[in-house]
């Protein structure tokens, strides 16, 4: 290991947020509406496609560990435009959205390309009708789990049951406690305006979790909120959380290969995915960017530029990765 690699491993903690795009297994859960993702369903979700998907999620996570930073006098430099070359280490923590169940996370961490990474995980078991949940995958070598639990979001009027909020806390290398909240707010189904109250209701529940940490642990607690908000940085749900002493460090994140957001719809880039940190953690942020490696994107023949290399377009199989690009944030402890 070179001196630069050693210094990077000592100073950097890599956090990834990724919406996997429908990471379902091939078995029917009678309590969930997962029939589309069965071998005889409309998506023809076979074991071959499932295992290919698992390995591609694993490939994405592994690739997000690429470090493109410079080191000078023992200090990691910010945004040196990759002048000093590249190194790599596994991400320390990954917040995942659109994962079906514990079986999928077991296969991902124990049987896919990640099987030797020795990752551990916690996840929710939500009443979401489609059966999708959120999870936190982490390295026990850089995050020692203390506690985790799910927080139920009670539906308001006309709101469908949605994903639970995942809370986890643990000890990081500095000896401090890190609090992590993973969320996947309700979709824009039915229109942005009509569905906006549902996202605000879910974000308000996240705010309650943050208030509980501030009030019961410390006003200087180190907190990360990450997930697919189905909203943009200036949307009410994100602003609600930022008004609670949180900072959206992903607000201006871009990629290095043409991505101007984590998601592209009809030629327009936007970031529905976000990483927010508490004020006490903001000073530790080294960088936040969209990881748009060439294998995760493809030419957009209709609108120009590039777009995420998604796995499905409706029921049509495209043999891709995800319709969302991952966010990567690095921290210096």
- Please indicate, yes or no, if residue 90 is contained in any of the structural domains: yes
Q: Tally Cβ neighbours within 10 Å of residue 214.
A: 17
Q: Which of 37, 15, 8 is nearest to 95 (CA)?
A: 15
Do the domain assignments include residue 2?
no
In a domain, 328, yes or no: no
Distance CA 246, CA 248 (A): 7
Closest CA relative to residue 142, chosen from 107, 166, 118, 109: 118
Residue 9 falls within a domain, yes or no? no
248 part of a folded domain: yes
Q: Are 275 and 327 in contact (CB under 8 A)?
A: yes
In a domain, 6, yes or no: no
DSSP assignment string, 36-89: GGSTTSTT---HHHHHHHHHHHHHHHHHTTEE---EETTEEPS--TTTT--EE-
Domain that holds residue 95: 14-323
On whether residue 7 sits in a domain, the answer given is: no
pLDDT for 214-261, tens place per residue?
Answer: 999 999 999 999 999 999 999 999 999 999 999 999 999 999 999 999
pTM reported for the whole predicted model: 0.92
What pLDDT is stored for residue 72 in this prediction?
31
> What share of the chain has pLDDT > 70, as a percent?
91
Q: CATH number of the domain that 308 lies in? A: 3.60.10.10
Burial code of 119-148, b = ≥16 C-beta within 10 A, e = fewer?
bebbbbebbbebbbbbbbbbbeebbebeeb
Q: Is 332 inside any structural domain?
A: no
Domain count, the chain: 1
Q: Give residue-wise pLDDT tens across range 276-310.
A: 999 999 999 999 999 999 999 999 999 999 999 99
Do the beta carbons of residue 330 and residue 8 sit within 8 Å?
A: no
Contact 324, 273 (CB under 8 A): yes
Give the pLDDT mean for 303-321. Answer: 97
């Amino acid at each position: 290991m070179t001196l630069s690699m050693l210094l990077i491993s000592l100073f950097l903690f890599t956090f990834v947020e990724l919406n996997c795009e429908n990471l379902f297994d091939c078995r029917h859960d009678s309590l969930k509406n997962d029939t589309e993702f069965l071998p005889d369903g409309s998506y023809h979700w076979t074991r071959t496609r499932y295992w290919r998907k698992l390995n591609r999620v694993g490939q994405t996570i592994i690739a997000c560990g690429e470090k493109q930073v410079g080191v000078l006098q023992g200090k990691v430099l910010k945004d040196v435009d990759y002048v000093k070359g590249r190194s790599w280490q596994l991400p320390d923590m990954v917040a995942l959205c659109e994962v079906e169940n514990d079986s999928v996370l077991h296969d991902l961490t124990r049987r896919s390309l990640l099987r030797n990474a020795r990752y551990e995980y916690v996840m929710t078991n939500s009443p979401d009708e489609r059966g999708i949940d959120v999870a936190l995958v982490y390295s026990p070598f850089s995050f020692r789990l203390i506690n985790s639990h799910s927080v139920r979001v009670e539906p308001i009027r006309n709101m469908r049951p949605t994903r639970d909020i995942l809370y986890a806390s643990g000890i990081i290398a500095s000896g401090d406690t890190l609090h992590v909240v993973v969320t996947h707010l309700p979709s824009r189904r039915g229109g942005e305006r009509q569905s906006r109250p549902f996202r605000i209701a879910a974000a308000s529940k996240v705010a309650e979790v943050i208030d509980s940490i501030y009030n019961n642990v410390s006003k200087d607690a180190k907190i990360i909120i990450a997930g697919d908000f189905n909203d943009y940085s200036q949307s009410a749900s994100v602003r609600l959380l930022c008004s609670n002493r949180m900072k959206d460090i992903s607000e201006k994140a871009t990629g290095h290969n043409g991505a101007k957001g984590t998601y592209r719809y009809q030629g327009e880039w936007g970031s529905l995915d976000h990483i927010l940190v508490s004020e006490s953690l903001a000073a530790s942020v080294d960088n936040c960017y969209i990881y748009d490696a060439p294998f995760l994107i493809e030419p957009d023949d209709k609108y120009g530029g590039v777009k995420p290399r998604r796995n499905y377009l409706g029921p049509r199989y495209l043999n891709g990765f995800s319709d969302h690009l991952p966010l990567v944030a690095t921290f210096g402890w």
